[in-house]
Amino acid sequence: MTPVSDPTLRHERTLGRAGAQLVIGVDEVGRGALAGPVAVGMCVIDPASRRTFPAGLRDSKLLSEARREQLAPLATKWAWASAVGLASADEVDRLGIIACLGIAGARALTQLRAVGVDTSQAILLLDGNHNYLAAQIGDEVQVTTKIKADRDCASVAAASVVAKVHRDRLMISLHEEHPGYAWASNKGYGSSAHFDGLQLLGPTVHHRHSWLKAERMIDGSVPA
């Protein structure tokens, strides 16, 4: 197996040399879940700073849950500011997942501005090749995309970890209200225990009902 390289700040520093005073790493989590919100995390850094990011920082998908819990507060402390915006399961049903990624991202930006981040001189560094923020924020903030930014760029890896831990904790708290779906372990994704819960109990208000119907997980035999 090819070893996974650690992220760096090379790309962020390139953006800084091109004029960005701040780089805001952006990543989403929960996009493919059947229950719970979709989350967009943001971590703000000064690309000219020589501060080192936390040792072991990587894309959240490459880390164990325990390691993410250790790294999240370190990533938050390293960043100038951080935020996680959410869009609910109901919003996903009504508006669609892509629109909700933009909504969650816009909410994260609002949080950053509330703590004093001047986004007018920032560049949002977005993982992937699709600018899902455009419909919500327009040209308020410059956005650049980069495939595998969550793997290669430390600011985006930090955003990934912060968002993942935030959402995971939320799903664990929802598990306490609805213990029949094993959300404490599957975090709302489609595990066998989650499907068993759906068959036995039916969906909750935290489920993305349109997704369940699309996957034919709800039929006349399942209580609404």
Per-residue confidence band for 213, with pLDDT thresholds at 50, 70 and 90: confident
This model's pTM is above 0.85 = yes
Instruction: Round to whole Å and give the CA distance between 85 and 217.
Output: 28
- Percent of the chain, pLDDT > 90? 89
Q: What is the mean pLDDT of the chain?
A: 93
pLDDT at 215: 53
Distance CA 192, CA 30 (A): 18
DSSP-derived secondary structure for 3-71: PPPPPBSHHHHHHHHTT-SEEEEEEEE-TT-SBS-EEEEEEEE-TT--PPPPTT---GGGS-HHHHHHH
CATH dotted code for 9-214: 3.30.420.10
pLDDT tens column, 138-165: 888 999 999 999 999 999 999 999 999 9
Per the annotation, does 140 bind a ligand?
Answer: no
Q: Locate 138 and state its tokens.
A: 């327009």
Q: Where are the domains of the chain?
A: 9-214
The three-class DSSP label of residue 126 is: strand
Residues 131, 30 contacting (CB under 8 angstroms):
no
Average pLDDT of span 31-58: 96
Tens of pLDDT, residue by residue over 162-212, are: 999 999 999 999 999 999 999 999 999 999 999 999 999 999 999 999 999
The mean pLDDT of 96-115, rounded to a whole number, is 97
Q: Confirm whether residue 127 is marked as ligand binding.
A: yes
- The response to whether 139 counts as a known ligand-binding position is no
- Which position has the token pair 């996957």? 215
- pLDDT class for 4, splitting at 50, 70, 90? low
Query: What pLDDT, on a 0 to 100 scale, did the predictor assign at position 5?
Result: 77
- Note the maximum CA span of the chain: 60
